Structure 1
Amino acid sequence: MTVYGIGLGPGEADLVTVKGKRLLESAAVVYSPGRLSRTVALNHVPEERIGDLDFPMTRDPDELRRAWKEAAAEVAARADSEDVAFVTLGDPNVYSTFGHLRRTLDAFHPEVDLEVVPGVSAMTAFTTALGVEIESGTGLALREAANGAAPTGPDRMVLFKVTDAPATHEKLTEAGYDVRFGRRLFMEQGETVVTDDPDELAERDYYTLAYAEREGVERDVATAEFDGVESGGSA
């Protein structure tokens, strides 16, 4: 049978894809690695079909490997006779807990069939919420900015895990970037905040992102207007 890694999207229950919803409803058990993904999954799956897996928040490599092996063993055993799902916020292939499970299954249970069902990533939801258009020909970098980190270089960046917004903002503005923040966007849990003021986000929150654009960056955006023809005129 098959293990489906299903992206739930950024947090709103109705941003789950049609395919994701169909597979959630048909899976024998739906494993959730955390409280928030479980909350979203419960909009589509009865509680008795939700399974919990332990993925500890630690940097101890031995403890992490033990937890991943135990989780993979449980999932593989269930998938031996029925389809199961593993859900994650965002997309399963973008900074997701599912990556740990997939690699461990590949290493210790290669007989298990895996299929990934994409979800709306937090990064694309974030640019939508801010009204940021990443036009054709534009480069956009994705960077982690935990604990006050402020990576620089690209003209446009989406930063995630911005757990110290004031420190990140100070460093980026000194480096010549305009910065805007969003917290818990398209999420049903917690307060949604969109702001240019990092002091509004002084309290740390894992689900905070930032969009940083270098000051004065030039744009060459195609429009429906033509050379020599004023807007509203005729040729």
Structure 2
Amino acid sequence: MTLYGVGLGPGDPKLVTVRGKELMERAERVYAPGDLAAEIAGEFVPDERIEQLSFPMTRDESALRAAWEEAAEVVAPAAETGTVAFVTIGDPKIYSTFSHLERAMKEYQAVDVETVPGVSVLSAFTAAMDVTIDDGPIDVREARAGVPTDGPDQCLLLKVTDVTATHQKLTAAGYDVIYGRRLFMNDATVTTEPTSLEDDYFTVAFATRGRSA
């Protein structure tokens, strides 16, 4: 049968696609990688059909691989006999836990895997932070990959969990920076002052050279 990777968008349940909503409502089981994804899914399906899966916040590749394989072992039996969904903030194919689960699911030949795109941070941040991408290339990466010291004039860093260190690196590289924390959520913040932000997984930094962000 089928496992659907469903993108929930940037945080506002109203930004879930019609297709994503329909599949969550149809799925016998909905799996979520954390509280926020489970909360958004809960807007569309009963809580008893939602199961949270645990993924450690670590860079230890062996621990991460073990978590993905354990998640596949949980999801596979339900997906082999019915329709299930794995929901994720943003888009399932863009810096998402779902891409790792999808690779782990290749061992289970009886399960078809399909992706339902969601509004990703790559499009949502421009509206939330009132910036325009209309000229020249933009470097997009997770913050842990580091700052491009000789990169393009525009850079978007995702998952900025250490705002202070990131800001120091970006300004040293000649960038002006605007930050967005928990965009399209109830406690969203957009600021150029990094000291006003608490460290948060759902923080992005948009940096530009030679002009105000």
TM-score by length of 2: 0.92
> For each residue in 1:61-112, what CA deviation from the matched residue of structure 2 results, as whole angstroms up to 9, or x when unmatched?
3333332222112211111211000000000000100011100001x11331
SS across alignment from 1:93: coil
Partner residue, 2:189: 193
Structure-1 separation of matches of 2:144 and 2:65? 23
The unaligned stretches of length 5 or more in structure 2 are none
Q: Percent identity?
A: 55
* CA-to-aligned-CA distance 1:147-183 (integer Å, 9 cap, x gap): 9x43331111111121222322232223221111111
Structure 1: runs of 5+ lacking an equivalent: 218-235
- Give the total of aligned pairs: 211
Aligned to 2:35: 35
Equivalent residue, structure 2, for 1:213: 208
Superposed displacement of residue 216, structure 1? 4.7
Distance 1:58 1:71 in 2: 16
Question: Structure 1 stretch 80-89 or stretch 65-74: which is displaced more?
Answer: 65-74
In the alignment, is the contact (CA less than 8 A) between 1:146 and 1:164 conserved in 2?
no
User: How far apart are the structure 2 equivalents of 1:164 and 1:52?
Assistant: 26
The answer for the alignment partner of 1:25 in structure 2 is: 25
Equivalent runs, 1:42-191 vs 2, <5 Å: 42-106=42-106, 108-135=107-134, 138-146=136-144, 149-152=146-149, 153-188=151-186, 191=187
**What CA deviation, in whole Å up to 9, does each residue of 1:20-58 have, x standing for no partner?**
000000000000111110011000111011022222223
Aligned residue identity for 2:24? L
Which of these two proteins has the greater Rg computed from alpha carbons?
1
Cα shift readout 1:89-138 (whole Å, capped 9, x = no counterpart)? 000000100011100001x1133101000001123211111121212x53
C-alpha separation in 2, matches of 1:54 and 1:129: 29
Q: Give the TM-score taking structure 1 as reference length.
A: 0.84
CA RMSD of aligned residues (A): 1.8
SS at match of 1:120: coil
| Pair 104,195 (structure 1): closer, same or farther in 2 beyond 3 Å | same
SS of equivalent residue, structure 2 residue 81: coil
Cα pair 2:56 2:67 within 8 Å, conserved:
yes
- Cα distance in 2 for partners of 1:51, 1:29 equals 8
